[in-house]
Amino acid sequence: MSELFGHTRDIVKERYALRTPGGFVPSHLPGWRDCTVVIHISSGMGANFAQIQIDLAKNGEGGGATGEKEFVAYILRGSCRAILGGKKHTLTAGSFAYVPPHTDYQFSGSGARLLIFEKTYTPLAGRTPPAVVVGHKKDAPAKPFLGQKGALLQVLLPDDPSFDLAVNIFTYQPGATLPFVETHIMEHGLLMLEGQGIYRLDADWHPVQAGDVIWMAPYCPQWFAAIGETPAGYIYYKDVNRAP
């Protein structure tokens, strides 16, 4: 899907946005140095969370304290070190880390690409916030979504009401689809990891491919069909487990 001079598939609307790598412009993120940061999705778009891509250059690093916020970091490529709440971890492609509110964090390394989903944590009465979780995609079972054998869903975080966000990976065989057009209260941030297909967003249909980013506002009608010779997959964020 090469683009003609002066053309783009990028579109930012009130209820959804599609962004393609050709339109990304790096920006600086406080606390991070020797890295390239692209803010995929933010409140500036109308979202209630942020989706951020960070490429660690040679000896790149970032750190701070989450405060009222929480985030999930997913390693898209390469490997890096992390110190989360004082504990050291080595993260490789496919690893993820959930970093809860009021937690110190530090990431460092050379050449890794991180995808971060960050939001303000919404406490739940009677429950303590979750602790740090570190895991890997390969350990998350791939289950048919609503009986669809060609659409496998991997849920990365524990199914526990203390979490107010979920990060999942969907992998579709060519020709597989979301079983119906979903309309729901949850918001999504999404990165296409592989393959290609058609995403229905609100009343529009868009061709999408690996590297593309989509924001879907709450109640934005959505549907996906995988097209092509190879599987299509995406990682996505949703807010969960809280009253409206």
Binding site for ligand UGY (CB under 6 A): 170, 178, 182, 184, 186, 188, 222, 236, 238
Q: Are the CB atoms for 45 and 17 separated by under 8 Å?
A: yes
Which CB, 82 or 232, lies closer to Mn ion?
232
**Residue 242 site contact among Mn ion, ligand UGY, none (CB < 5 to 8 Å, cut-off depends on kind):** none
Q: By C-beta, is 98 or 215 nearer to ligand UGY?
A: 215
Q: Which residues contact 133 (CB under 8 A, 6 or more apart)?
A: 97, 98, 157, 158
Contact 53, 38 (CB under 8 A): yes
CB of 111 to ligand UGY, least distance (A): 30
Structure tokens at 107: 């990431």
Give the residue among 229, 172, 218 at the shortest CA–CA distance from 199.
Answer: 172
- Does 182 participate in binding Mn ion (rule CB under 5 A)? yes
Q: Could you give the strand order of the β-sheet that contains 204-209, starting from the edge strand earlier in sequence?
A: 204-209, 196-201, 222-226
Contact between 202 and Mn ion (CB under 5 A)?
no
Task: Give the shortest CB-57-to-ligand UGY separation in angstroms.
Answer: 32
Contact flag: residue 10 with Mn ion (CB under 5 A): no
Nearer to Mn ion, 24 or 223 (CB): 223
Q: Are 111 and 78 in contact (CB under 8 A)?
A: yes
Q: Minimum Å distance from CB 60 to ligand UGY?
A: 31
Q: How far is the CB of 213 from Mn ion (least distance, A)?
A: 15
Residue 81's nearest CA partner among 104, 61, 98, 67 is 61
Q: How far is the CB of 63 from Mn ion (least distance, A)?
A: 32
Q: Which is nearer to ligand UGY, 102 or 184 (CB)?
A: 184
CA 69 vs. chain centroid, Å, equals: 16
Toward ligand UGY, which CB reaches closer, 75 or 201? 201
**Which residues form the interface with Mn ion (CB under 5 A)?**
182
